[in-house]
Amino acid sequence: MAFLELHDIHKSYYLGKEEFPVLNGINLNFELGEFVSILGESGGGKSTLMNIIGGLDRNFEGQVIFDGQKLDHKKEKQLDDYRRGTIGYIYQSYNLISHLNIVDNVLVSLNMTTLNASERKKRAIELLQQVGLGDQIKKHPNQLSGGQKQRVAIARALASDPEIIIADEPTGALDSVNTAEVLEILSDIASQGKLVIAVTHSQEVADHGTRIVHLVDGKIDDDKRIKAPYPVKKEEPAFKPKVLSRVSSYRNAFQHLSFNFWRNSLIMLGTAIGLFAVLLFSGLGNGVNSFIQDQITSMVNPQAVTVLKNPSGKKSSMTKLQQSISEYANNPSKLLIKDSQVNKLKSLKNVDKVEPGYQFSNFTLSYNKKSQNGSGFQSWTNAYAKDTVKTGHKPGHNEIMIDKSQAIALTSDKTYKQLLGKTVKLSIPWIDAHNNPVQISANLKVVGFANGGQAGAITATSYQTMRDLLKKGNASTDANFVSLNAANTEVVKKVAKEVNNIKENGKYVMGAITVGDILDTVNQYVSVASIILASIAGISLIVSALMIIVTMYMSVSERTKEIGILRALGERRKDIRRLFTAESVFIGLFSAALALIIAWGVSIWLNQVLYSIVKFNMVQVTWGNVITTVIIAIVISFIAALLPARRASRLNTIDALSAD
């Protein structure tokens, strides 16, 4: 049994329904150590026969048997393995990859072997030295002559130590000197026990081999042996073929990305701008949330639980509770908390202090013939943080603390501090025990200014002072809120839950509001705003994705021949897909890195500007934001590459090799 056998090979091309036979019943046997020349005129079927032998053409009739094993041309994996481990190609047009130097061109084949990285590079250099290019290893193909390019192609063909070397018109583009040298190299390859099959229309080339097969109009016209085959020594191979590793695919992708860096840099910049905008708005959202939390916690004790009457009788969230209370704004008697209900709150566990209180939606302050209307007057409780008092101290008996803005309205921006220690008149509309309106008035001493603006506007007097004023004015003295102080911050939610579950006559009578509830509501609105802004910025990412898609399609078109070369060398369709998706993902990663650098610089500048205004770092980019941005970049670039990569992997290898 011969090493390579062709049985009854038929091949036709079709133009519409018309058939054009190219090969008609080819039967040939080949042995190791032969240098076989397939001689014939152009159009005689020589190249088609070589494509069948080389595992490139799958659409034919007949059998190819290699080393006793039938090749099933319908099994793509078997053909990939066959080309990778058995076939070495030498082309008339060299088919070198332009963006790689000549060592890397040889390594393309060696990357699909079991040799490690250093062994692969060593072998590549040795092969180039064998073909006389040891001093040219750093050059690219466009820096070499035709003869030198063909020598690189020969070194690449030998790299994986294949048993069959197919040379398609190997001297067609060479002068007489280079022709003789290339033929000598091919003879030397055959003398090493390889099977060399050269396709040619030159009698000079054919005479250089050990056997000449004359092909005319798709048929064997003559098969003549002119020399004895070279002796074959069976040796255990030093390495074996294997599929291309992911690392090699990523390295190849990075090499091409670097080769076209300036073109790709524009796409990276466009993508980076979109990613930067998303990152910046996310950081601003974080900063606003932190700012609000900082201001609220500086104004309110985080252990405080504010208890309000629940007029609806239904279990409600903070928002629904506030809506329900607002519906009874004109009937404040429905919002009063009885002493018996206050006593229930005192019986709760994990509560250190219970303070009934009063809060009024409207009030008036008068001083020196000036009046100032306000909202949100209430009795002082421990719910307020110490930082609430900007100047002075918290109010005691017959004392009042007012907001800085109110003090300025009653005096002036320059003299408002003179109001400290002076007496102002407070007027509050309220109700009596029978729900009739009454007016409560009193002269109170100003003992402090609230830290208004950022920390909130607060006007307050002591609970006892307020209770005495209500009693004196024949008004209802029932509290309309109660402040609880939880034992610690860990039990705040538990205390609030117990308050919300208090029932009378089957109805829920009170509702609790904590600092966490306020922050959750505020943060929810801020988060929605951040998402909307980030989504608007994300539109630019869609444009970037389209740019990547266009670039990848251009890359596929430009690299069609390269794809054919890689497939002929044994790379799988999935290797081709990975090559293009990896390059796209690299674009995404570099874009993310650029976006992070821009965001870092802009956030520093913005924080410096805003800190002078609000005394707070308003841009806070977290590691979560960074990781999310990188993931977005990878996902977008990967999705953008799917269609171009799929198209690249589906290219017909023979058509790709013939592309300009």
| Residue pLDDT, tens place only, 40-86 | 888 888 889 999 999 998 889 999 999 889 988 888 899 999 999 99
Q: Which residue is listed with tokens 């990357």?
A: 111
Query: Lowest-pLDDT range, 244-248, 314-318, 492-496, 508-512?
Result: 314-318
Residue 482 burial class via C-beta count within 10 angstroms: exposed 0-12, middle 13-18, buried 19 and up: buried
**What pLDDT was estimated at residue 492?**
83
Model confidence at 270: pLDDT above 90: no
Q: How far is Cα 558 from Cα 459, in angstroms, rounded to an integer?
A: 74
Helix (H, G, I), strand (E, B) or coil at 243: coil
Q: Calculate the alpha carbon distances from 477 to 248, 377, 438, 472 in Å.
A: 82, 16, 12, 10
- Starting at the earlier edge strand, list the strands of the sheet with 18-30: 18-30, 4-15, 61-66, 69-70
Model confidence at 225: pLDDT above 90: yes
DSSP string, 213-231: EEEETTEEEEEEE-SPPPP
Q: How far is Cα 587 from Cα 638, in angstroms, rounded to an integer?
A: 10
- What average pLDDT does the segment 318-337 reach? 71
CA atoms within 13 A on the CB side of 132: 12
Q: How far is Cα 388 from Cα 459, in angstroms, rounded to an integer?
A: 11
CA atoms within 13 A on the CB side of 421: 2
Using 50, 70 and 90 to split pLDDT, how confident is the model at 121? very high
Task: Identify which of 288, 204, 240, 234 has the alpha carbon closest to the alpha carbon of residue 86.
Answer: 240
Model confidence at 452: pLDDT above 70: no
Other Cβ atoms closer than 10 A to 501: 11
Amino acid at 24: N
Domains with residue ranges and CATH for the chain: 4-242 (3.40.50.300), 248-296+521-658 (no CATH), 302-512 (no CATH)
Q: How far is Cα 339 from Cα 316, in angstroms, rounded to an integer?
A: 23
Model confidence at 177: pLDDT above 90: no
Q: How far is Cα 535 from Cα 537, in angstroms, rounded to an integer?
A: 5
pLDDT in tens, 349-396: 888 888 898 888 889 999 988 888 887 788 888 777 666 777 888 898
**What pLDDT was estimated at residue 523?**
66
Q: Calculate the alpha carbon distances from 442 to 224, 252, 283, 365 in Å.
A: 128, 85, 49, 10
Q: How far is Cα 298 from Cα 642, in angstroms, rounded to an integer?
A: 52
Task: Identify which of 488, 489, 514 has the alpha carbon closest to the alpha carbon of residue 499.
Answer: 514
**What pLDDT was estimated at residue 50?**
92
Q: Which residue is listed with tokens 């389209």?
A: 546
**What pLDDT was estimated at residue 455?**
42
Q: How far is Cα 358 from Cα 377, in angstroms, rounded to an integer?
A: 8
CA atoms within 13 A on the CB side of 372: 20
Which residues fall within 8 angstroms of residue 206, CB to CB, at 6 or more apart? Answer: 37, 39, 198, 200, 212
Q: How far is Cα 357 from Cα 377, in angstroms, rounded to an integer?
A: 11
Using 50, 70 and 90 to split pLDDT, how confident is the model at 208? confident
**What pLDDT was estimated at residue 318?**
66
pLDDT in tens, 515-526: 777 666 666 777
Other Cβ atoms closer than 10 A to 224: 11
Assess contact for 380 and 395: CB atoms under 8 A.
Answer: yes
Task: Kindly state the percentage of the chain with pLDDT values over 90.
Answer: 35
- What average pLDDT does the segment 575-593 reach? 93
Task: Kindly state the percentage of the chain with pLDDT values over 70.
Answer: 94
Q: Strand (E) positions, 317-474? A: 351-357, 359-360, 363-367, 370-374, 377-379, 389-392, 399-403, 423-431, 437-450, 459-461
> What is the dihedral sign for C-alpha 254, 259, 261, 267?
negative
Reading the block at residue 303, the tokens are 């252990």
Using 50, 70 and 90 to split pLDDT, how confident is the model at 333? confident
**What pLDDT was estimated at residue 117?**
92
Report CA Rg, the chain.
43
Torsion of CA 187, 190, 192, 195, to 10 degrees: 170
Reading the block at residue 561, the tokens are 């021949």
Using 50, 70 and 90 to split pLDDT, how confident is the model at 540? confident
Q: How far is Cα 389 from Cα 401, in angstroms, rounded to an integer?
A: 8
Model confidence at 131: pLDDT above 80: yes
Q: How far is Cα 39 from Cα 45, in angstroms, rounded to an integer?
A: 10
Using 50, 70 and 90 to split pLDDT, how confident is the model at 292? confident
Amino acid at 608: Q
Q: Calculate the alpha carbon distances from 205 to 139, 229, 475 in Å.
A: 29, 17, 120
Model confidence at 494: pLDDT above 50: yes
Buried b / exposed e along 32-54 (16+ C-beta atoms within 10 A): bbbbbbbbbeeebbbbbbbbbbb
**What pLDDT was estimated at residue 454?**
42
Average pLDDT for the chain: 86
